[in-house]
Amino acid sequence: MHRMAVGETAEREDLLAAAVVEAVERTGAYAGSVFLRSRDRRSIVLAATCGVPPSLLGGWRLISVSSPIPVATAYRTGRTVHLANAEETMRRHPQLAVAVPYAFGSCSVPVGAGGETFGSLATVWAASPGSEGLSKAQRRHLRSVANRLGDSLAALRDRTGDPVECEQGTAPVEIPTPSGAAVRVGLFQWDLVTGIFTVDDELCAIFGLDPRAFDGRAETLTSCLHPGDLAAFRAWAREAKDGRTTSRRLRLRDHQYGSEGYRTVELWGRVPDADDTRAGTPLVGAVVDARAGHTALAAVERLREGVFSLAPGGRVTYANHSALRLLGASGDELLGQFLWDVLPWLSDPDVEHRHRFAMISQEPSSFLACRPPDRWLSFSLHPEADGVTGRIVPVRRPPPESTRPASSAAAAPATAPARLGVMYHVLQLGSALTEAVTAREVCEVVSDQLLPAFGGQQLAIYVVRDGTMHRLFHTGHHEDFLDWLEGVPLHARLPGTETLTSGAPLFIESQKELSRGYPGIPMGQVSSWAYLPLIASSRPVGTCVLGFDEIHQFTERDRGVLTALAGLIAQALERARLYDSEFALARGLQQALLPHRLPVVPGIRSVVRYLPGTRGMDIGGDWYDVIPTDSGVCLVIGDVEGHSIAAAATMAQLRSAVRAFAAVGLMPGEVMTGVNRTLIDLGTGLLASCCCIHLDPQGHHAYAVTAGHPPPLLRRPDGTTDVLDLEVGPMLGVERASAYPGTRITLPPGSVLALYTDGLVEEPGTDIDVGIDRLRASLAHARADSLDELADRLLHNARGSSYRADDIALLLTEFRSPRPGGHRADLGVDGHDDAAAGRRAAR
């Protein structure tokens, strides 16, 4: 395991900090963040942030790679995710919009180099409704920043061995948003032998001198002081010569207040000690001008209304005397704390919401609150990227009921409100479980969400079957995690069963605690456990167990959230198990309707891949076929619209019709005409697309007909790949008199034809031509060591996707010179052309 040295850590932190600051500045954002992949690659971890802290945006320091959160999507897909405003966020990432319901835009881009992705970079800005977000130039700049960061991280890895990953518990680098300085500091060095002052430009600016004209004389500087402070200056110099660090407040002439106007500055300095290696005659020091800060502070303290300041995260950084009086608190109680944590009458969740709204939307916000027993106060919040200025004024009369906050002193909750991160975990898991339909998917969702959220390393789900416990799912590096629970009866006195029979979750924080409660139980290498009972409709479903390699302290928040999530998991798992049994029946029917093997034809070789859709019980109408004829062979691919038993039945009938027409020697155009009439005669009301290509292996050419189907692709021996420009006929089932013209194509030996259904190239919100061209590029550049490998490469992204709205069929055919003496067709298989095997491999 590689552990970074201090210098390597500092270098990486500098790279991250510089990138996130540049990203914020180039996009005009108020916040930015960089996430790096975790060691197990299941999560991305917050590594650096600038501006508004992540706690305001949900508190996400650890995000599952499979999460639909934009930074995870950018990391997972390698694409830019640009959300111009709240409306677009709600449309494309509803889980994020529900958890953070404020007006903001965001842009997330991947960070990587050499085809490897290390993490993602994101910026966030205030966005009014209808705003267009970042310009194309700003998005290019952001991508450029991310690419440079990726190159730098890769170079650091090559030089030091840093794996470019982030530990789950690593504190992120935090850079505050740049803001105007209230304090100015000028530096100087005074040579006590020559009397020469060497000063920087800032000191000249404080003294009102032109740095180019300054003559280096002490008299020039002291002439700017109040005459009454010259003695104090000389006393300061004597003390500094003795090696003491000393300071004096001196009055400095300020022409902004007229010819006799002065302001106060502070003078610091010392001569290094004699045993210091830097020792010598120069006196070094600084002039501190806090005029803006002192002036502003004095002005604010004179106000009779309350004024306070909050850091971007919400902690109090300042409150004037009037604010402390109105709030009924001292500065020691408030400074560095959250108002809603310190003052029970402000612990209404709406107060925290108002602050978060102001910071994220960068819009003023206001609310009313009642300080016990009956004093009403009006609060207004005015945000900037570096924090919030708050104003408090008393309201003489109680406001109408319609304007009062959700709670008053009597109704104020006894404890602080739940943070947004808690809401996110419930919303995110609930949303993800809604989309998970199989038991396996439910288990994977639970693993993807719970382990990153709570920092666990092991997860096991056991279900009850025939009164005993059986492991349904396990993830983690300890293969023997909870092996002892397998086959245990439900009534056994063990933590995995007792939590289920009692209905109460069990949190065990150490091995000592486990052995005390359950002597002799195997512990393995796990130090802490959370046993969650999965109960649906008052019926025990199973137990979900989280394991932690290190001792884990379960806070009240952890216990409450995990208990709430257990109910969601149980309901989803019960529903999924019922789905699995019905799904197996439906898919069995669909498989029975498709060819079980492809014929071996001299001169050509075909492979097929079939991926069923991942959502919904209904089966699709995609089909494929390879039909030997007296004059060659017909390649067929088709798709009946919809997902239902009716679509599958219609698909079977059309496939039979195509085989019948082709077997009697009809050419593709005639086949399509006959199939079209057959579909209309069936009266199903469904439409279908189809592509039929008749190959002549001896003649090196083919005739292709398409009925509203995506065009085939042809890869030539030299790798050039084209989308075939065919005459397109209408879809099947539209009109009885439809005609289907054919197109002659040339097939050089070594070329590959690709027929596919639209599920492979369609993507929501994208024109299908874009998907077709993407497939064409993939076919052109993929290695073609074998036809099977080529098919697998083309389906790589689709197979890895957790969401496929449509079935996918892919039929690849390689045209080659026939072997002498070969037979016309042989229904045997060589092991590679077996369609059923291809379908199994594709899954």
Cα–Cα distance for residue pair 330/336, rounded to 1 Å: 12
> Tens digit of pLDDT for each residue in 591-625?
666 777 788 888 888 999 988 765 544 567 888 99
- The residues near 348 (Cβ < 8 Å, ≥ 6 apart) are 340, 369, 405, 406, 407, 412, 413, 417
Q: Find the DSSP H helices in 455-494.
A: none
pLDDT score recorded for residue 830: 34
Mean pLDDT over residues 497-524, rounded?
Answer: 90
How far from 396 is each of 304, 370, 374, 377, CA to CA, in Å?
A: 15, 12, 10, 9
DSSP class of 711: P
- Tell me, what amino acid is at 719? G
Cα distances (Å, whole numbers) of residue 75 to 34, 112, 157, 474, 776 = 11, 9, 19, 25, 24
Nearest residue to 195 (alpha-carbon basis) of 167, 221, 169, 223: 221
Q: Which residues contact 839 (CB under 8 A, 6 or more apart)?
A: 591, 594, 608, 609, 610
CA gap 100, 360 in Å, rounded? 9
Measure the CA–CA gap between 563 and 559, rounded to whole angstroms. Answer: 6
Buried b / exposed e over 107-137, threshold 16 CB at 10 Å, is bbbbbbbeeebbbbbbbbbbbeeebebbeee
What residues pair up with 389 in beta bridges, in sequence order? 309, 382
**HEC states along 384-415?**
ECCEEEEEEEEECCCCCHHHCCCCCCCCCCCC
- CB–CB of 752/812 below 8 Å? yes
Q: Which strands form 246-253's sheet, in the order they lie side by side?
A: 197-199, 184-191, 282-289, 262-270, 246-253
Q: Which residues pair with residue 394 across a beta bridge?
A: 377
The closest of 596, 595, 587 to 620, measured between CA atoms, is 587
Using the 8-state DSSP alphabet, how is residue 27 labeled? H
Q: Is the pLDDT of residue 498 over 60?
A: yes
Least confident of 269-278, 294-303, 312-321: 269-278
Write down the pLDDT at residue 408: 35
Q: State the pLDDT at residue 692.
A: 95
Cα–Cα distance measured from residue 336 to residue 206, given in angstroms and rounded to the nearest whole number: 32
* Coil/strand/helix, residue 497: helix
What's the rounded mean pLDDT across residues 346-354? 80
Looking at residue 772, its pLDDT comes to 92
Handedness of CA 426, 429, 435, 437 (dihedral sign): negative
Q: Would you say residue 178 has pLDDT above 70?
A: no
pLDDT (tens digit, 9 = 90+) per residue, 375-404?
889 899 988 877 889 999 988 655 444 344
* Interacting residues of 429 by C-beta distance below 8 A, sequence separation 6+: 445, 446, 449, 450, 565, 568, 569
Cα 21 from Cα 15, distance rounded (Å): 10
Q: What is the pLDDT of residues 189-242, one digit of tens each?
A: 888 788 888 998 888 888 888 888 899 898 898 888 888 888 888 888 888 777
Residue 841 clears pLDDT 50, i.e. is over it: no
- Going by C-alpha positions, the residue among 354, 275, 374 that lies closest to residue 314 is 354
Instruction: Give the residue with greater pLDDT, 78 vs 449.
Output: 78
Residues 6+ apart with CB under 8 A from 276: none
Looking at residue 768, its pLDDT comes to: 86
Structure tokens at 405: 């906050």
- Residue-level pLDDT at 607: 92
Q: Amino acid letter at 211? A: P
* Alpha carbon distance 97, 105 (integer Å): 11
Of 143, 145, 70, 156, residue with least CA distance to 105: 70
In the prediction, which pLDDT does 365 show? 85
C-alpha closest to that of 372 among 413, 344, 341: 344
d(CA 837, CA 834): 5
Burial of 597 (0-12, 13-18, 19+ CB in 10 A): middle
Is residue 825 predicted with pLDDT exceeding 50?
A: no
Q: State residue 5's pLDDT score.
A: 53
Does pLDDT of 656 surpass 80? yes
pLDDT at position 729 is 92
Q: What confidence category does residue 112 fall into, taking pLDDT thresholds of 50, 70 and 90?
A: very high
Distance CA 221, CA 219 (A): 5
What local confidence, expressed as pLDDT, does residue 834 receive?
A: 38
Residue 200, both tokens: 């920087």
Report CA-CA distances (Å) from 540 to 438, 474, 535, 570. 19, 19, 5, 9
pLDDT value, residue 824 = 37
Say which residue, 261 or 712, is predicted with more confidence. 712
Under a CB-based contact definition with an 8 Å cutoff, are residues 74 and 85 in contact?
no
Helix (H) or strand (E) holding 109: strand 104-113
The candidate with the shortest Cα–Cα distance to 463, out of 536, 411, 391, 513, is 536
Report the distance separating Cα 512 and Cα 740, nearest Å.
78
pLDDT tens figures, 710-767: 999 999 988 899 999 999 999 999 999 999 999 999 888 889 999 999 888 887 667 7
What span, in angstroms and rounded, lies between the C-alpha atoms of 72 and 65?
5
What is the model's pLDDT at position 148? 94
Residue 290: half-sphere exposure toward Cβ, Cα within 13 Å:
10
Q: Which two tokens stand for residue 304?
A: 């009779």
CB 163 within 8 A of CB 36: no
- Which tokens hold the place of 557? 């928040």
Sign for the CA dihedral angle at 674, 679, 680, 686 comes to negative
- Residue 154 to residues 11, 38, 159: CA-CA distances in angstroms? 13, 16, 9
- Closest by Cα among 826, 791, 787, 752 to 602: 826
Indicate the average pLDDT of the chain. Answer: 81
Note the pLDDT of residue 375: 87
Residues 6+ apart with CB under 8 A from 402: none
Measured distance CA(239)–CA(256) in Å, rounded: 32
Confidence at residue 431, expressed as pLDDT on a 0 to 100 scale: 66
Tallying the residues shown for the chain, one arrives at: 843
* Percentage of the chain lying above the pLDDT 70 cut: 82
Task: Look at strands 506-508 and 721-723 and give their pairing.
Answer: unpaired
Pairwise CA distance, residues 726 & 687, whole Å: 20
Burial 479-504 (b: 16+ CB within 10 A, else e): eebbeebeebeeeeebbbbbbbeeee
Q: Is the pLDDT of residue 260 over 80?
A: no
pLDDT of residue 82: 94
Is pLDDT of 673 > 90? Answer: yes
Per-residue pLDDT for 83 more than 60?
A: yes
- Kindly give the interhelix angle for 835-842 and 787-794, rounded to the nearest 10 degrees: 40
Task: Return the bridge partners of 370, or none.
Answer: 376
Q: pLDDT: is 704 or 262 the higher one?
A: 704
Going by the DSSP 8-state scheme, the letter that residue 766 receives in this structure is: B
